[in-house]
Chain A
């Protein structure tokens, strides 16, 4: 159970790391992209920033939910990893 949670945590961490990393790298190397306004006149910098906060919360909910569900797929999960 503990090992499964730890692996799950690392996977979700990996997902967030990719999103956060791309935000930082776009800011550093393509700052002009952050200025375009794709939706409702609001620019990418703000939309992406809000998305990072919302995604963090959603991932933590998902993690909490998956960890507290007594797993019946533990064996198959191990096989997949």
Chain B
């Protein structure tokens, strides 16, 4: 779609971002030493730190990716919400306090408190860097998705703006300011998501035949199934249909995955009609939308050049209900439970991308009437369709993802450093509980927001990540500006936290402890800032490259890498006395290399990032967790048993 910026939205947005950055600079002026830069002097109040946990964690991916996935496929995106939250249980019950007792600034310090090994510092530093960068990608992609409908800039401009802004924030400020900024955004995100949810319930559901631009998608029929195809010429429409004015000179087209028995589309001029046979003996023809690049490199929408001028066209927004229970036109306001029970008995038009044999290179967006009971069950997203297959390998992909989400939170470097910003274990515990409460409320809301977006009439077929801001836009411009600004500052905050974690890993771990560089306190902060600029540049480039992917799925991968590389060592160090430093080094290396390699070799990466459409990949499924996490544990145990046990010093033995 093409977006016209609204002046009010832009003003509210800029005001919001300006205040956040101003606050950041003001607070940043107070942090000069390296302890202040990396860990906020250990003086953040626990409640603030707890909401800041939520601010850190509820990144662009949670907000944009999950809502988008729910809006396009139904329940499945909510599986990410459940997994992301469940991960906190591991973080709180298993990791939180031992980490706080062991650590100082970074994850590496915690793992290394017992061994003082340069090898451990090196591998953990590298894995922190790898996870941070992988987690940065979805944030940058999300930033582009926010900027586009708001300011009308292209995606790459949004990514560039975020990258530059964040680097400025990080270079001028540090941990103190990111904590307070995260606190502010964490609270606003939860509050405004709640407001939006209440508005969705107030609006209720109503039956429509098009999106908010007022375009009515046409439906022809019903026809009897027997009168569809000419019995004499099996590749032509039958006479009664040919006589319809819309279908003059129409031909039939077959879906690319179809073996040629039943045609999927009727093509009349530039208009594609989907042959909808789901009602059994009655057949409907439903108007589709198409997108194609012509030989001159021009993008054609429904056969016309893309644009807003006369003689140009753009994709119509979609997302509407075609039938409500009791065949009423409008449900009126609904409650938190009747929201689901009403939708359960409705029929929603879900638009799916299809491709045709006769029209290669063309994307056909096809309206498929889908029962609400299907929308609200797991397994409709192609990524999760495996759970309904009889092939056990397909089920493994799903289990693998849920395992990675469960184990990933405790292993994320930018989440772990927050444990050190409060003064003791009790405070760390309390702030984690506050964090879980805020995050839990938000994730419950994501299901309402996603399904609200699904029925908002505002969905952009070309970008799943834009569902949440566009939902707000369908309510009113003010709310849209506020939600976009919060989401955008959320991106800023998460990205600055990640860049700080990377800078900490490079300067504190790699330069100071591994290379034994003699750097004083002041120089350390300066080097961290230089590193931040470099990491920011890498993130900008990757954010532009990964534009096509749903950001929720990208975060899932970051979790897989974090869980595979870091979790085995962390758990075994805390609970198995026989763990050796060689075991840790081997486990981190193996976990990181195998999970990263698996992801890069998967069909999903090859087709969306490297442009090899339809490539099946070199691994049996795309989520590595179920293989690489146990592999990390196994490596650690085997290598530890093969190497000399660590001899405890008397003081540590006493504890």
Are A24 and B90 interface neighbours, CB within 8 A? Answer: no
Are B433 and A61 interface neighbours, CB within 8 A? Answer: yes
Q: Which residue of A lies closest to B345 (CB)?
A: A41
The smallest beta-carbon distance between A66 and chain B, in angstroms, is 11
Are B387 and A31 interface neighbours, CB within 8 A? Answer: yes
Are B85 and A43 interface neighbours, CB within 8 A? Answer: no
Cβ of B203 < 8 Å from any Cβ of A?
Answer: no
Q: Which residue of B lies closest to A55 (CB)?
A: B89
Given contacts A13-B89, A57-B436, contact A64 B430 (CB under 8 A): yes
Contact with A along B319-341 (1 / 0, CB 8 A): 00000000000000000011011
Cβ of A71 < 8 Å from any Cβ of B?
Answer: no
Given contacts A9-B94, A35-B377, A46-B340, contact A28 B398 (CB under 8 A): yes
Are B82 and A46 interface neighbours, CB within 8 A? Answer: no
Cβ of A81 < 8 Å from any Cβ of B?
Answer: no
Q: Which of A35, A54, A57, A64 contacts B429 (CB 8 A)?
A: A64
Cβ of B576 < 8 Å from any Cβ of A?
Answer: no
B373 contacts which chain A residues (CB < 8 A)?
35, 43
Q: Which residue of B lies closest to A29 (CB)?
A: B395
Are B378 and A67 interface neighbours, CB within 8 A? Answer: no
- Residues of chain B at interface, number, CB under 8 A: 46
Are A6 and B378 interface neighbours, CB within 8 A? Answer: no
The smallest beta-carbon distance between B653 and chain A, in angstroms, is 15
Q: Which of B78, B89, B376 contacts A56 (CB 8 A)?
A: B89
A20 contacts which chain B residues (CB < 8 A)?
86, 89, 402, 406
Cβ of B437 < 8 Å from any Cβ of A?
Answer: yes
Residue of A20, A23, A34, A54 with most chain B CB atoms under a 10 A cut-off? A20
Q: Which of A18-77 contact B (CB under 8 A)?
A: 20, 23-25, 27-29, 31, 34-35, 37, 40-43, 45-46, 49-50, 52-54, 56-57, 59-61, 63-64, 67-68
Given contacts A13-B93, A43-B377, A45-B378, contact A27 B444 (CB under 8 A): no
Are A60 and B433 interface neighbours, CB within 8 A? Answer: yes
A43 contacts which chain B residues (CB < 8 A)?
340, 344, 373, 376-377
The smallest beta-carbon distance between A69 and chain B, in angstroms, is 12
Given contacts A10-B93, A13-B93, A27-B398, contact A56 B440 (CB under 8 A): yes
Q: Which of A34, A42, A52 contacts B86 (CB 8 A)?
A: A52
Given contacts A9-B93, A49-B82, contact A68 B101 (CB under 8 A): no
A25 contacts which chain B residues (CB < 8 A)?
399
Cβ of B92 < 8 Å from any Cβ of A?
Answer: yes
Contact with B along A1-14 (1 / 0, CB 8 A): 01001100110110
A52 contacts which chain B residues (CB < 8 A)?
82, 85-86
Are A60 and B444 interface neighbours, CB within 8 A? Answer: no
B81 contacts which chain A residues (CB < 8 A)?
49, 53
Cα(A27)–Cα(B395), bound, Å: 9
Cα(A35)–Cα(B395), bound, Å: 18
Cα(A29)–Cα(B88), bound, Å: 25
Given contacts A2-B101, A46-B75, contact A34 B399 (CB under 8 A): no
Q: Which residue of B lies closest to A49 (CB)?
A: B82
Q: Which of B90, B398, B447 contacts A13 (CB 8 A)?
A: B90
Cβ of B255 < 8 Å from any Cβ of A?
Answer: no
Cβ of B388 < 8 Å from any Cβ of A?
Answer: yes
Given contacts A29-B395, A61-B433, contact A50 B75 (CB under 8 A): no
Closest 6 CB pairs of A and B: A41-B341, A9-B93, A13-B93, A28-B395, A42-B340, A53-B440
Q: List 13 A-B contacts (CB under 8 A).
A: A16-B93, A24-B398, A27-B378, A27-B379, A35-B377, A41-B344, A45-B75, A46-B75, A46-B340, A52-B86, A53-B82, A57-B437, A63-B429
Chain B residues in contact with chain A, CB under 8 A?
Answer: 75, 78-79, 81-82, 85-86, 88-90, 92-94, 97-98, 101, 337-338, 340-341, 344-345, 373, 376-379, 387-388, 395, 398-399, 402-403, 406, 426, 429-430, 432-433, 436-437, 440, 443-444, 447
